[in-house]
């Protein structure tokens, strides 16, 4: 009875342990596609879908041939760091129309991502595609259309605007494309407007101007490609889409081209006389030239050919500052200060950056801002060069509030500053060695309490992609980098996991950092990689998950004390384990649960059991004592069973005597 009772308790305990362990939860998982830095394909935004019922699914990819066929088009379906499906449109020679591509894949419950990559034909503006994913019963789980533009990334002197907006009501609309001719007229500007529902073009312009079109209600995708004047390498244009007659505007944007910086925006609350000051911040070096145009209500208020202070007569309303800041060629980067005041009252003061670095190997300047005002008081800026994959050639930092700049911190280290109760920024100028990429991090925090105002990790160079992950509970986690080997293995792949200025871990090529202890906070997954030399793109996956629980063992012996020559029963149950091995008083490979009778024991014996699983190994041991034989007056020894029998006999004899 006791053996059965003990066995029930052991099974119950094992069940409770298994219930507490559970499956490892995934906190973050993604698959990504990266393009070659050259004339590779354009990567579209992936589509995500969830599978709730396991079965066969089909992906179908179509070149919609609008306005012309593409040069290449393919798609993958990925989940849990693996490619599970792939479809590629084949383009026949001789200009024949491409046929849709389909592929069937098996899916289990989980989250899946569809990545579409494609390239426009040489000399063509691009085209449109459609992709669907259907279940075995024909129900669509993904159904979308997209576009592939001829220009994946703007070259020097170019600007590519690609955005989406909604039209609420069907009707007649007008698109207006205006060249603002600052600092010089554009050499070219083109516009394409597409209905996202069927990927059909509804308006095209090959130069600045106006055009009316008829539109249905729905979402639209707008492309504008502009070329600046070659000598100025800068330009400016506006685009607006409004109803006909002009009652409302559904979309409007002003876009700088080439080296012209985005506008600094300000709202003037009251009309009056103001002073505007423009100055070189001289960080990290002096600018080569600095000029500005101030615009209000579509009129030029003032043009400044150099730094200085000007008086402005302003009306109430929005104000735009277009600044052309040209860094010195040797530095490639710089910064400037601007201030708008009315009398002694400062209306706005800010520091802006100018970055003319065209590639990974040239300098770059990075700006990090607080979302709101910080508390006044002392702070400490800590900057760290992670030397991943190698050290930076130069690293300079300053703390900025408005147009007030701290002293410069050179290299890794700390800088103590005193802040006002207003927003704060950190500017960091970093240069990688040669054409390589590098990584740095910083923290701006109170010196006494360590409360963080600003914290970030930044890759220097265009090969870095960073993904923040929030850890809310302290524990052990597995961090994984996987090369999806689509369409081929990556030429380089590395991951640095950072938390503020702490390098948590690194992975090169692929693999996992297992059972990493993480405290609550924001961690950044910094991926550095390149496609294979012969490929235009590659793919990889990242995952953060709870570490699997280590093996747990319930191991008992019954009885734990025996006489010489007797046996004991060993019983065990292991959770989170795949294999078990016996040692010491017994041996051999054992199942993860079981019961076995030992051999006859002649001496006290310890039995050990080691069990292993994906979460690690665990050992347990039980000791069975062999009792020493008792001796009385030369008589033989009697075991417990004989003593019990003699006791029962004595009681019987006593009862019989009483009856007499």
Mean pLDDT of 488-501: 94
What was the pLDDT predicted at 656? 43
Looking at the chain, how many residues does it have?
660
Q: Which is more confident, 117 or 642?
A: 117
What was the pLDDT predicted at 24? 63
Same fold for the pair 41-151 and 259-357: no
Please write the tens of the pLDDT for every residue from 361-373.
Answer: 677 899 999 989 9
Confidence bin at 638 (pLDDT 50/70/90): very low
Give the helix/strand (H/E) hosting 651.
Answer: helix 640-659
Token pair for 615? 């979460």
Instruction: With 0.75 as the threshold, say if the pTM is over it.
Output: no
Residue 152 has pLDDT above 70, yes or no: no
What was the pLDDT predicted at 202? 93
Distances, alpha carbon 266 to alpha carbons 320, 340, 423, in Å: 6, 9, 16
**Residues 6 or more apart in contact with residue 299 via CB below 8 angstroms:** none
Short-list 567, 399, 434, 543, CA closest to 31: 543
Mean pLDDT of 495-515: 94
What was the pLDDT predicted at 147? 84
Confidence bin at 151 (pLDDT 50/70/90): low
Asked if omega into 263 is within 30° of 0 (cis), the reply is no
Average pLDDT over the chain reads: 87
Please write the tens of the pLDDT for every residue from 515-569.
Answer: 899 999 999 999 999 999 888 889 999 999 999 888 899 999 999 999 999 999 9
Mean pLDDT of 158-172: 92
Radius of gyration of the chain (CA): 36
User: Which of the given ranges, 145-154, 227-236, 632-641, has the highest pLDDT on average?
Assistant: 227-236
What was the pLDDT predicted at 5? 33
Please write the tens of the pLDDT for every residue from 270-312.
Answer: 999 999 999 999 999 999 999 998 988 766 789 898 999 999 9
Q: Report the CATH architecture of 2-22+549-627.
A: Sandwich (2.60)
CA 443, CA 383: separation in Å to the nearest integer? Answer: 7
What was the pLDDT predicted at 125? 76
β-pair type (333-342, 345-355):
antiparallel
User: Can you tell me which residue has the tokens 């690194």?
Assistant: 506
| CB-CB contact of 299 with 305 (8 Å) | no
CA 487, CA 35: separation in Å to the nearest integer? Answer: 11
CA 93, CA 129: separation in Å to the nearest integer? Answer: 20
Please write the tens of the pLDDT for every residue from 480-492.
Answer: 999 999 889 999 9
Please write the tens of the pLDDT for every residue from 212-229.
Answer: 999 999 999 999 999 999
Confidence bin at 641 (pLDDT 50/70/90): very low
* Domain 41-151: assigned CATH number: 2.60.120
What was the pLDDT predicted at 41? 57
CA 85, CA 63: separation in Å to the nearest integer? Answer: 18
Token pair for 239? 């685009």
* Percent over 70 (pLDDT), the chain: 88
Count CB neighbours of 271 within 10 A: 11
Domain locations along the chain: 2-22+549-627, 25-40+462-547, 41-151, 158-258, 259-357
**Residue 85 backbone zone (phi > 0: left; psi -120 to 50: alpha; other: beta):** beta
Mean pLDDT of 121-136: 89
Q: Please state which CATH class domain 25-40+462-547 belongs to.
A: mainly beta
CATH 1.10.10.10 assigned to domain 158-258? The reply is no
What was the pLDDT predicted at 364? 85
What was the pLDDT predicted at 150? 67
Q: What angle do CA 266, 405, 236 make, to 5 degrees?
A: 40
Residue 418 has pLDDT above 90, yes or no: yes
CA 94, CA 333: separation in Å to the nearest integer? Answer: 49
Map 340-403 to HEC letters: EEECCEEEEEEEEEEECCCCCCCCEEEEEECCCCCCCEEEEEEEEECCCCCCCCEEEEEEEECC
Short-list 413, 426, 427, 418, CA closest to 383: 413
What was the pLDDT predicted at 645? 43
Q: Which is more confident, 479 or 238?
A: 479
Confidence bin at 360 (pLDDT 50/70/90): low
Confidence bin at 155 (pLDDT 50/70/90): low
What was the pLDDT predicted at 276? 97
What was the pLDDT predicted at 9? 29
User: Can you tell me which residue has the tokens 């089909």?
Assistant: 58
Residue 19 has pLDDT above 50, yes or no: no
CA 318, CA 185: separation in Å to the nearest integer? Answer: 24
What was the pLDDT predicted at 402? 95
Fold of the CATH domain 259-357: Immunoglobulin-like (2.60.40)
Count H helices and E strands in the chain, helices first. Answer: 2, 50
User: Which of the given ranges, 252-266, 358-372, 400-414, 614-628, has the highest pLDDT on average?
Assistant: 400-414
Task: Please provide the distance, in angstroms rounded to a whole number, between the alpha carbons at the two ends of the chain.
Answer: 38
- Report helix, strand or coil for 122: coil
Please write the tens of the pLDDT for every residue from 555-597.
Answer: 999 999 999 999 999 999 999 999 999 999 999 999 999 999 9
């Amino acid at each position: 009875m006791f053996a059965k009772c003990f066995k029930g308790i052991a099974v119950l305990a094992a069940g409770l342990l298994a219930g507490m362990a559970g499956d490892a939860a995934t906190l973050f998982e993604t698959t990504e596609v990266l393009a070659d830095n050259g004339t590779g394909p354009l990567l579209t935004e992936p589509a995500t879908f969830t599978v709730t019922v396991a079965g066969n699914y089909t992906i179908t990819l179509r070149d919609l041939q609008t306005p012309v066929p593409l040069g290449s088009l393919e798609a993958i379906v990925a989940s849990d760091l693996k490619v599970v499906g792939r479809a590629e449109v084949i383009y026949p020679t001789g200009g024949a129309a491409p046929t849709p591509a389909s592929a069937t894949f098996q899916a289990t419950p989980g989250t899946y991502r569809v990545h579409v990559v494609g390239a426009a034909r040489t000399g063509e503006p691009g085209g449109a595609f459609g992709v669907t994913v259907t279940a075995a019963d024909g129900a669509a789980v993904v159904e979308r259309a997209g576009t592939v533009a001829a220009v994946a990334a703007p070259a020097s002197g170019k600007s590519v605007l690609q955005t989406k907006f909604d039209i609420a009501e069907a009707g007649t609309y007008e698109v207006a494309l205006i060249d603002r001719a600052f600092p010089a007229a554009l050499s070219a500007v083109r516009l394409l407007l597409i209905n996202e529902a069927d990927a059909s073009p509804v308006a095209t312009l090959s130069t600045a101007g106006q055009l009316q079109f008829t539109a249905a209600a729905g979402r639209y995708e707008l492309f504008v490609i502009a070329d600046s004047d070659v000598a100025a390498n800068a330009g400016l244009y506006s685009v607006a889409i409004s109803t006909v007659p002009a009652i409302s505007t559904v979309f409007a944007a002003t876009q700088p081209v080439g080296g012209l910086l985005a506008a600094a925006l300000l709202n003037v609350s009251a009309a009056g006389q103001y002073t505007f000051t423009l100055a070189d911040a001289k960080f990290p070096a002096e600018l080569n030239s600095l000029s500005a145009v101030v615009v209000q209500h579509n009129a030029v208020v003032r043009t400044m050919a150099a730094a200085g202070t000007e008086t402005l007569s302003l009306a109430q309303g929005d104000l735009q500052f277009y600044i052309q800041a040209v860094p010195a060629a040797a530095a490639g980067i710089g910064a400037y200060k601007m201030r708008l005041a009315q009398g002694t009252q400062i209306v706005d003061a800010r520091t802006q950056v100018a970055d003319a670095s065209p590639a990974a190997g040239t300098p770059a300047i990075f700006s990090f801002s607080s979302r709101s005002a910080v508390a006044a008081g002392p702070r400490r800026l800590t900057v760290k060069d992670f030397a991943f994959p190698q050290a930076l050639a130069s690293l300079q930092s300053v703390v900025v509030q408005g147009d007030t700049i701290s002293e410069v911190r050179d290299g890794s280290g700390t800088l103590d500053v005193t802040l006002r109760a207003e927003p704060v920024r950190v500017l960091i100028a970093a240069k990688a060695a040669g054409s390589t990429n590098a990584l740095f991090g910083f923290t701006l925090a109170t010196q006494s309490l360590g409360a963080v105002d600003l914290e970030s990790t930044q890759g220097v160079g265009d090969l870095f992609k960073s993904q923040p992950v929030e850890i809310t509970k302290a524990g052990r986690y597995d961090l994984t980098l996987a090369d999806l080997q689509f369409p081929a293995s990556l030429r380089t792949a590395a991951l640095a996991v950072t938390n503020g200025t702490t390098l948590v871990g690194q992975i090169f090529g692929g693999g996992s950092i297992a059972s990493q202890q993480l405290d609550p906070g924001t961690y950044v997954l910094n991926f550095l990689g390149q496609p294979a030399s012969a490929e235009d793109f590659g793919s990889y996956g990242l995952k953060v998950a709870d570490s699997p629980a280590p093996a747990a063992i319930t191991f008992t012996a019954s009885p734990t004390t025996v006489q010489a020559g007797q046996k004991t029963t060993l019983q065990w149950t292991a959770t989170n384990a795949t294999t078990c091995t016996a040692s010491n008083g017994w041996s051999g490979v054992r199942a993860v649960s079981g019961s076995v009778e030992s051999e006859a024991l002649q001496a006290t014996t310890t039995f050990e059991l080691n069990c292993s699983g994906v979460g690690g190994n665990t050992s347990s041991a039980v000791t069975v004592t062999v009792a020493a034989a008792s001796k009385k007056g030369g008589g033989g020894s009697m075991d417990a069973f004989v003593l019990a029998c003699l006791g029962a006999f004595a009681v019987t004899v006593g009862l019989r005597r009483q009856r007499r």
